[in-house]
Amino acid sequence: MSRIAFIGLGNLGSGMSDNLVKAGHEVHAFDLSADAVAKAAEGGAQTAASASDAVSGADAVVTMLPAGKHVRAVYENEVFGAAKDGAVFMDCSTIDVDSAREVGEAAKAKGFKFLDAPVSGGVAAATGGTLTFMVGGEEADFVLAESILSAMGKAVIHAGGLGSGQAAKACNNMLLAINMIGTCEAFALASKLGLDQQKFFDISSKASGQSWSMTSYCPVPGPVPASPANNDYQPGFAAALMLKDLGLAMEAADAASAATPLGALANDLYQSFVDQGDGNTDFSGIYRLIEECDSNG
Q: Which residues are catalytic?
A: 169
Phi-psi label, residue 137: left if phi above 0, alpha if psi -120 to 50, beta otherwise = left
Count of all residues that appear for the chain in the document = 297
HSE-up of 286 (CA within 13 Å, CB side)? 32
Q: Which residue blocks in the chain are alpha helix, DSSP H?
A: 11-22, 34-42, 51-55, 68-74, 80-82, 97-109, 122-128, 139-150, 164-192, 197-204, 212-215, 239-256, 261-273, 286-295
Residue 137 · residue 104 · CB < 8 Å: yes
Please list, in sequence order, all residues whose beta carbon lies within 8 angstroms of the beta carbon of residue 212, skipping any fewer than 6 positions away.
Answer: 176, 179
- How would you classify the pairing of strands 60-63 and 46-47? unpaired
Residue 214 · residue 201 · CB < 8 Å: yes
Phi, psi of 116 (to 5 degrees): -90, 125
- 3 state DSSP class of 218: coil
Please list, in sequence order, all residues whose beta carbon lies within 8 angstroms of the beta carbon of residue 163, skipping any fewer than 6 positions away.
Answer: 97, 98, 100, 101, 104, 116, 136
HSE-up of 82 (CA within 13 Å, CB side)? 19
Q: Cα–Cα distance between 250 and 242 in angstroms, integer?
A: 12
